[in-house]
Amino acid sequence: MKSRLLLYISVFLFSVFFLTGCTSNEDKNISNDLTEEGLELYEERYYREAMDKFVEALEKYPSNFEAYVGLANILLDKGFFEEVEELASEASMRVGNTQTAVIYSMIGEKYYDVGKYEKSKEIFEKAVRADSNHERGWVGLAGANIWLGDIREASRVLGNKGESDEFLLLYSFLALDDWDKGLNKVREIEEDSLRERMEEIYAIDDEDVLYKNTSLAREYINAGYPFLAIELLDKQDEEIEQYPEGQYFLGRAYLDYGNYEKAIEKLNAALMLDIDDENVYISLARANLFNNNTERALDAYENVISTTNLDFLKEYINVLLGNDMKNKAQTTLIDLLDEEDIFGLNIMLVKVYYECGELNKMGELLTKLDEETNLTQAETKDLKRYKILYALEDIVDEVELDGLIERYSVFDRYNPVIYLFKGKLFKHQEEILKAQESFERAIELDLQSDVAKQAQKLLASMN
């Protein structure tokens, strides 16, 4: 997929360089039709065919903005950031300034999402240079500066003129402990629930400084700006020493910002103040895990392991499996099942048996779970997935397995693992072309590369 995409882009950029002069109305109409076809294919996740259409559209009309956006979306989805930058540079010579800013903002946001804030800042700067009134670009540029630890620059680039709720909220956040300034912007927010929640925080008695600022810090963290929470709460370092919620949210902020040593320090301080919140232990577990201290991470997880929060339990089990502690994962789940025999625990145990290669136990447990009634859609999906994985280990009934895969596909037909399953079945049936097509489709659909790696390995084994 990568080589083909890069070939398309290099050929396209080379050819479009020489396209000059006027484009007829007929060619523009053909280009628009091709773009519509490309967008439909893109919605169906047929990336290669969609790219064909967008490239054809731009060959007909090199200033077709929607075709550039379509190509940019495909490249960004597949992680080809450098290639889409080259595409944006070419587009900037053929579309309007506002349209150029939109494409650069798309790229800046992707860099931001993957934590490349220096690069994100660079791209957002290109967006606002193209169009100085592009609010989306200024908001993105301010956000990148916040993550780089430069609040003064973030405030400068954001300015004070903006109309979107995103702009108004960020402006109020950058006010930090200037509550009047923050409140004035919050009142302009259109979304009722957001405006009312923020107004409620600013309405807290000004004498309760710690509680008010901690409440604001929580909003900063939840919105994805942990550095602002650190700046706000660190100003009250001495006062916060005896305030458990403040220590917790400061620890959370350091955790999200990637300063794990500081996070551990603050979260432990919160626990010393007898805070009664399982989230403190989970945050402490994650901080220790990211700080490469698995033993302390597991100690923290084990303070809150129970059947009341299966998401935390699943996280803990995954950590055990990732550290080759499969026996402990088994005994933990079996002990909990003695207390409460519920589907969520059983399906986790099925996963552990699968990871351990204990297929007999896995099969017995799946048979038991197959008799369950009143399962949720998510539980039904999980059960079918593990039934497929079990059946693929030793294919006995091809028709039954094919039916299982088809029923599983109802839940999410764009899930690349479906095509991985199909490919394995076709390979077993020696339907080589169908197997290859399925594995290629799995690779095309997989944006995380986990399934793609398996599919590529299986494809290679067939050559």
Question: Does residue 337 sit within a domain?
Answer: no
Report how far residue 450's alpha carbon sits from residue 455's, in angstroms, rounded to the nearest whole number.
9
Report how far residue 443's alpha carbon sits from residue 457's, in angstroms, rounded to the nearest whole number.
11
Q: Which pTM was predicted?
A: 0.90
Could you tell me the two tokens for 259? Answer: 């300063």
Could you tell me the two tokens for 136? Answer: 């989306």
Q: In this structure, what CATH number is given to the domain that contains residue 428? A: 1.25.40
Question: Does residue 406 sit within a domain?
Answer: yes
Report how far residue 71's alpha carbon sits from residue 87's, in angstroms, rounded to the nearest whole number.
8
CB 283 within 8 A of CB 251: yes
Question: Does residue 407 sit within a domain?
Answer: yes
Please list the pLDDT of the chain residue by residue as tens digits (463 residues).
455 555 555 555 555 555 555 678 899 999 999 999 999 999 999 998 999 999 999 989 999 999 999 999 999 999 999 999 999 999 999 999 999 999 999 999 999 999 999 999 999 999 999 999 999 999 999 999 999 999 999 999 999 889 999 999 999 999 999 999 999 999 999 999 999 999 999 999 989 999 999 999 999 999 999 999 999 998 887 788 889 999 999 999 999 999 999 999 999 999 999 888 899 999 999 999 999 999 999 999 999 998 888 999 999 999 999 999 999 999 999 999 999 999 999 999 999 999 999 999 999 999 999 998 889 999 999 999 999 999 999 999 999 999 999 999 999 989 999 999 999 999 999 999 999 999 999 999 988 778 888 888 888 887 6
Question: Does residue 444 sit within a domain?
Answer: yes
SS3 content of the chain, % helix, strand, coil (to 5): 75, 0, 25
Number of domains in the chain: 1
Inter-CA distances, 224 with 257, 283, 284, Å: 9, 16, 19
Question: Does residue 189 sit within a domain?
Answer: no
The two counts, helices (H) then strands (E), for the chain are 28, 0
Report how far residue 141's alpha carbon sits from residue 112's, in angstroms, rounded to the nearest whole number.
10
Question: Does residue 422 sit within a domain?
Answer: yes
Question: Does residue 109 sit within a domain?
Answer: no
Residues of the domain holding 426: 395-463
Inter-CA distances, 177 with 62, 111, 132, Å: 50, 30, 29
Question: Does residue 447 sit within a domain?
Answer: yes
Sorted by sequence, the CB contacts under 8 Å of residue 99 that are 6+ apart come out as: 65, 68, 91
Report how far residue 69's alpha carbon sits from residue 104's, in angstroms, rounded to the nearest whole number.
10
CB atoms within 10 A of CB 198: 23
